[in-house]
Copies of this chain bind each other. A is one copy, B any other.
Amino acid sequence: MQTPKDLHKAGLKITLPRLKVLNLFENGDNRHLSAEEVYKQLLASGEDVSLATVYRVLTQFELSGILVRHHFEGDKSVFELNHGEHHDHIVCMQCGHIEEFFDSAIESRQKKIAAEHGFAIHDHSLYIYGDCTREKCPNRRSE
């Protein structure tokens, strides 16, 4: 993944804050991060970036297609790398664990519905909320 090239293509200068943020998404543990999480992780690893810059950079990356923004339930935006293939999300309400899925049946039904209602479809967002049943889910419900 040629990140400096991506930045350049987007008309953005190659700066340290931008590289640090990109690095988090590319090499971090968590593929889905909020602005606050990005900021805290940078601070934790000794990087000194201002919160305002984090917000600016995330928004610019969204506009240039490097990141995708999601509005999960709650009030804050969550970002992930745009690896080109659209997918939807299923989110655990106990531990926040996120899994991704793509379902062509749902996708085609959506197109059909938009057409039936006379809408030119731009975009859609589908989030499924539930309880994951992973061993490590902290608030795991006994089964």
- What CA separation (Å) do A115 and B94 show in the bound complex? 17
| CB neighbors of B among A111-143 (8 A) | 113-114, 117-134, 141
Contact B132 A128 (CB under 8 A): no
A128 contact from B113, B128, B133, Cβ within 8 A:
B113
**Which of A24-32, A35-43, A47-55, A102-110 is the interface stretch?**
A102-110
Please give, as numbers and ranges, the residues of chain B lying within 8 Å of A56 by CB-CB distance. none
Complex CA–CA separation, A90 to B73 (angstroms)? 18
- How many protomers of this protein does the assembly include? 2
Q: Which residues of B contact A128 (CB under 8 A)?
A: 110, 113-114, 119, 121, 123-124
Nearest chain B CB to A22 CB, angstrom units: 25
- Name the B residues within 8 Å of A134 (CB-CB): 118
- Does A5 sit at the interface, judged by CB under 8 A? no
**Contact between B126 and A121, CB atoms less than 8 A apart:** no
